Amino acid sequence: MLDQYGRNITYLRISITDRCNLRCKYCMPDGVTDVGMKNILTFEEIWEIVRAGVSLGITHVRITGGEPLVRKGCVDLIRGIRAIPGVETITMTTNGVLLRTYAASLKEAGLDGLNVSLDTLDFEEFASLAGRQNLKEVLDGIQAAKEMGLPVKINAVNRKELNPISLVLYAQQEKIPLRFIEMMPIGLGKKFETIYNEDILEELKKQYPDIQEDRQIHGNGPAVYVKLPGGQGSVGFISALHGKFCQYCNRIRMTAQGCLKPCLCYGKGVELKDIFDRHEKQQRCGTTMADQETLECLYQAITEAIQLKPKSHRFENLSEITEDKKMSQIGG
């Protein structure tokens, strides 16, 4: 479906839990509490929303969190989404800690690919950044996904401690696409110094002076790629801050609590869980709202969220950012 600026919205990101098994300092450090199971969408509700979304033009779904693999039944949820006619691809963003355990069943459930978040290859730094010593499990999880034939990409968020060369070398060795992501001023991210992708690229150029622009399309996201010399692979840059790509934005995001967000920057969203809660209340009172009516309400709500999509974010001006949710609730 087209929004009011002519962008075709085909991509739905779903945060299926705000819980996580890591405690990344810029996302969900110790002390951040979760919203509780009774406040998050059930699998049936998520399937219903995807069905409504598909009939409005959604073709790609990404599952995220919190950490999606900590939600019990995550694989069944994915299998259910995969079975919805019109869902062309379903992918997941994960920290990779539980990937070795789930790689085979994710593949069997029909997952099309994984983005694994990996900010450092240094064991001490990982523990300090993520609050847990799980780097070995993450690396092992990436291997397991590869063994299963699941396409993997690595995402690293820029921080001043980032060692881009080490990540490039690892990605080359593993033959995995790597993308650097500018830290966005959302949630705890506001407290971190902004490191622009331009600076990361400059650092890479010192090591690889013959880097070239890569015009090949990689996936359906906003990353811009460069080719390392001698066929040594590509590196992507997702530059939400200095390289605004809002005119190409094709996505809406749903929080674990069922708030459908038109844009990362703004708190305004459309509450989908209310629709199901209303339905349930009416059932209890014996005045059942027909399932068709629920579906109609979902169409209207999703349409409203798409039409509410602003022309662009305003991350450059902190006073205009109205989103106060954490990234662990939104899903990145």
**Cα(91)–Cα(61) distance, rounded to whole angstroms?**
6
Contact pick of 12, 186, 223, 254 for ligand SAM (by CB under 6 A): 186
Tokens of 62: 């990404």
Residue of 151, 153, 183 whose CA lies nearest to 167: 153
Task: State yes or no: residue 200 binds ligand SF4 (CB under 6 A).
Answer: no
How would you list the strands of the sheet with 270-271, edge to edge? Answer: 212-214, 224-227, 234-238, 178-181, 152-157, 113-117, 89-94, 60-64, 11-15, 251-254, 259-261, 270-271
| Burial grade of 56 (CB within 10 A; 0-12, 13-18, 19 or more) | middle
Site string for ligand SAM, 117-146 (x = CB under 6 A): x-----------------------------
Task: State yes or no: residue 20 binds ligand SF4 (CB under 6 A).
Answer: yes
Residue numbers 102-141 binding ligand SF4 by CB under 6 A: 117
**Cα(302)–Cα(56) distance, rounded to whole angstroms?**
8
Task: State yes or no: residue 256 binds ligand SF4 (CB under 6 A).
Answer: no
Task: State yes or no: residue 63 binds ligand SAM (CB under 6 A).
Answer: no
Task: State yes or no: residue 65 binds ligand SF4 (CB under 6 A).
Answer: yes
Task: Kindly report the backbone phi and psi dihedral angles of residue 217, in degrees, each rounded to the nearest multiple of 5, phi listed first.
Answer: -80, 125
Identify which range of 15-23, 33-41, 252-260, 270-278 contacts ligand SF4 by CB under 6 A: 15-23
- Let me know: does 92 contact 141? Beta carbons within 8 Å: no
Task: State yes or no: residue 235 binds ligand SF4 (CB under 6 A).
Answer: no
Binding residues for ligand SAM, rule CB under 6 A, total 23
- Residue 187's SS3 state is helix
Taking CB positions, which residue lies at the least distance from ligand SAM?
Answer: 189
Q: Which is nearer to ligand SF4, 106 or 188 (CB)?
A: 188
- Least distance (Å) between residue 217 CB and ligand SAM: 21
Residue numbers 23-42 binding ligand SAM by CB under 6 A: 26-27
Binding residues for ligand SF4, rule CB under 6 A, total 13
Q: Give, for 50, the enclosing helix (H) or strand (E).
A: helix 43-55
8-state DSSP, 32: P
Judged by the rule CB under 6 A, the positions of this chain that interact with ligand SF4 are 20, 22-24, 27-28, 65-67, 95, 117, 327-328
Judged by the rule CB under 6 A, the positions of this chain that interact with ligand SAM are 20, 26-27, 64-67, 93-95, 117, 155, 157, 181, 183-184, 186-187, 189, 327-328, 331-332
